Amino acid sequence: MGADIDKKRVVAVCGSGGCGKTTLVEDILFTTGKTSRKGSTDKGNTVMDFDSEEMERKISLQLSVGHTQWNKHLLYFIDTPGYHNFIADALCGIMASDSVLMLIDAKDGSKAQTERLFDEVKKENKPLIFFLNGLDKEDIDLDRAINSIKKDLTEKAFLLQLPIVEDNNFVGYIDILNHKAFDYEKGEIEIPSNFKDAAEERYMELVEEISTYDDELMEKYLEGEELDKNQLNETLKKAVWSASFYPIFVGSSLKGLGSKELLDGMVDLLPPPEEKYNEPAALVFKTYNDPQLGKMSLLRVCSGEFKSDSNYFNVNKDQEERLGSLQSVQGKSLSKVEGASAGDIAAVAKLKVTQTGDTIANKGSSIKCDFIEMPLPFISYAVYGTSKGDEEKLGAAINKVIESDPSLKFERNSETKEFILTGMGAMHLEVTASKLKNKFGVQAMLKLPKIAYKETIKGKTQSHGRYKKQTGGHGQFGDCIIEIEPLQRGGGFEFVDMVVGGAIPRQFIPSVEKGIKAAMEHGVLAGYPMIDIRIKLIDGSYHPVDSSDLAFQMAGSIAFKDGVEKCKPVLLEPIAEMEVYVPDDNMGDVIGDLNSRRGRVLGMEPYADKKGYQTIKVLVPQAEILEYAPSLRSITGGKGFFTYHFSVYEEVPSQIAQKIIEEAKSEE
């Protein structure tokens, strides 16, 4: 803070899980003198992974922010999680940044999660630099790693540095554009003879591509004229800023190799923040909620200047919000600052109405900073407290967790009466349960949700129900005759009054209906609610003294229960309509798996948003997809994903129905 806007860089550090993002940021903070030691994820002592859950699991579960100075520039780093389960924070980090540093493991190349993140970067049109990490590992196949980037992510990715490997050791690099070689220990050296041809080949490839971004340069290149180095570098920067050219730097975050060169690249090639609006506006892109520290919000200032201890306005909530002390952020370490201006990231405590995604501005402002739509969560578990005390505290504690992780969803299923927690994956929900216990003292159990089965009938009958009770004084008397018949699927419930001649007084007709509805809540097969039934009330009788609302409710219930068993009752199950998005290569295996889950494929078509993918539309019983997500990820190597919604109820095949009925009876 305090730097001119053109001397700032705000960079989201992204990549798949385990590719070395946090290790790289730790190395940068150490290299630039921000820390006195280099933290290690294995030892759980990094600046960026400061949450107790992260230390225990040795992976990033949420985004964190650090900053440093380099070449008179102020650089902010948003270190993001790499695992699919925590992608929401990675997307928030991309949204809050001006550009992206994407790490690729030199051994593994591009992975499914890298593709997902790169798609988001492209969608947001953000400049990006690749860092090919882990060059110190043995048996690195550079061409394979580069080809994976070009094949899976973008053809417009080009090496700016050619790694020098001697006796299987990564010792330095060649600056391709400037025809210079550097040894990490010795400094500048002659280009090794065995690398000259490769360096020249990469140079020609690079220059040919860069020249396409400048007509004058292209003309000189085609004429075979010598190219001006300054013009080449300026055109390279222009190409990167346009988010259509992606330079590749090389190094090893674990060994601390390549960090300085990468910092130079970020300063030279990535754009500074822009003043997006002509008044103060800031995006809240992350909320931390800790029982000890309270609520802490991270602001990315989009334009203007914000002062500590001042009143502002939450545009989304249309309410005033007071900002207390603004804090500079280094992992979990905070230090008070007087203000923050465009391009800065600051933390502020105890905002009352503000949540992740909200815009803070001046009163009367209509500005809303761009933010992401949270990815749809698709794995659900029923959540129970282990004791009565935990049950009572569960909802409030989960809402606190959701405040810091809006990709979670929590609701009560009115059909099964269970509380349902939905997230991005099994690990996501397990981490949530662990947070509930360790941070909020609430012990929660996760179980597969119950399926909201229903019951209905396939036949029709007439049934008589009489309730008569004499206990001295007033008795109870209700008598009715009903017809029971099925409705079409989705018909719900119909009650038709066909009584004539006052056989049942008008005031008791609704009583019969009420009794039948109560009886329908517990079906005769397995106790599930009954649906799609029409009842005709055709006759009955009453007693001028003993008839009552309760007596006719009982009569209706008796008539229904006696009659429904003669109407061929059957079990129904909810069917989901799914859209499954898969790479072309995995189509056969995915369809085979869906068939094994009793799925019925409705159709297939190319997926409009991603080349080489297909959309499969399919109807599948909900009972068969409770744990579908990990199976799909396994079949597609993590590249497949899906959405679904309830479609219809259908009859359960008799063999499966019998098993469900037996289980329901044993539970009773």
Q: Which residues of 320-336 are buried (b: 16+ CB within 10 A; e: fewer)?
A: ebebeebbbbbbbebee
Q: Cα-Cα-Cα-Cα dihedral of 77, 78, 83, 88, to 10°?
A: -160
The string of DSSP letters for 29-88 reads HHHTTS-SS---TTTT--SS--SHHHHHHTS--S-EEEEEEETTEEEEEEE---SGGGHH
- Please answer whether residues 439 and 389 qualify as being in contact, where contact means their C-beta atoms are separated by less than 8 angstroms: no
Output the CATH code of domain 455-567: 3.30.230.10
What is the chain's mean pLDDT, rounded? Answer: 92
How many Å apart are CA 388 and CA 300, to the nearest integer? 42
CATH topology of domain 281-361: Elongation Factor Tu (Ef-tu); domain 3 (2.40.30)
How many Å apart are CA 85 and CA 349, to the nearest integer? 27
Q: What single-letter amino acid sits at 58? A: K
Q: In the 8-state DSSP scheme, what is residue 338? A: S
Numbers of helices and strands, H then E, in the chain:
16, 34
7 pLDDT exceeds 80?
yes
Task: Identify the pLDDT of residue 44.
Answer: 73
Share of the chain above pLDDT 70, in %: 99
Per-residue pLDDT tens over the stretch 339-391 = 999 999 999 999 999 999 999 999 999 999 999 988 877 789 999 988 888 88
Structure confidence at residue 289 as a pLDDT band (50, 70, 90): confident
CATH topology of domain 379-447: Alpha-Beta Plaits (3.30.70)
Q: At what angle do helices 587-596 and 628-636 cross, to 10 degrees?
A: 150
298 pLDDT exceeds 90?
yes
- Please answer whether residues 192 and 164 qualify as being in contact, where contact means their C-beta atoms are separated by less than 8 angstroms: yes
DSSP percent split of the chain into helix, strand, coil, nearest 5: 30, 35, 35
Per-residue pLDDT tens over the stretch 316-340 = 999 999 999 999 999 989 999 999 9
Output the CATH code of domain 5-190+243-269: 3.40.50.300
Q: Which residues of 390-409 are buried (b: 16+ CB within 10 A; e: fewer)?
A: beebbeebbebbbbbbebbe
Phi–psi pair at 215, nearest 5 degrees: -60, -40
Q: Stretch 606-624: mean pLDDT, rounded?
A: 92
40 pLDDT exceeds 70?
yes
Q: In the 8-state DSSP scheme, what is residue 308? A: S
Task: Identify the pLDDT of residue 391.
Answer: 80
- Count CB neighbours of 300 within 10 A: 28
The string of DSSP letters for 382-428 reads EEEESSHHHHHHHHHHHHHHHHH-TT-EEEE-TTT--EEEEESSHHH
Task: Identify the pLDDT of residue 292.
Answer: 75
Task: Identify the pLDDT of residue 54.
Answer: 73
- Count CB neighbours of 66 within 10 A: 25
How many Å apart are CA 229 and CA 232, to the nearest integer? 5
Per-residue pLDDT tens over the stretch 487-523 = 999 999 999 999 988 999 999 999 999 999 999 999 9
- Token match 């030199």: residue? 106
pTM for the full predicted model: 0.88
Task: Identify the pLDDT of residue 377.
Answer: 76
How many Å apart are CA 100 and CA 95, to the nearest integer? 10
Q: Stretch 250-267: mean pLDDT, rounded?
A: 96
80 pLDDT exceeds 70?
yes
Per-residue pLDDT tens over the stretch 181-200 = 999 999 999 999 999 999 99
Per-residue pLDDT tens over the stretch 211-250 = 999 999 998 888 888 888 899 999 999 999 999 999 999 9
How many Å apart are CA 194 and CA 174, to the nearest integer? 12
- CATH 3.30.70.240 positions along the chain are 571-666
Task: Identify the pLDDT of residue 52.
Answer: 74
Q: Stretch 401-420: mean pLDDT, rounded?
A: 91
Task: Identify the pLDDT of residue 472.
Answer: 66
484 or 59, which is more confident = 484
Q: Stretch 297-325: mean pLDDT, rounded?
A: 96
CATH topology of domain 571-666: Alpha-Beta Plaits (3.30.70)
- Count CB neighbours of 570 within 10 A: 18
Task: Identify the pLDDT of residue 587.
Answer: 94
How many Å apart are CA 79 and CA 90, to the nearest integer? 8
- Please answer whether residues 301 and 282 qualify as being in contact, where contact means their C-beta atoms are separated by less than 8 angstroms: yes
Give the full edge-to-edge strand order of the sheet including 461-469. Answer: 461-469, 476-486, 533-541, 493-497
Measure CA of the first residue to CA of the last residue in the chain; give whole Å.
Answer: 64
Q: What single-letter amino acid sits at 47? A: V
474 pLDDT exceeds 90?
no
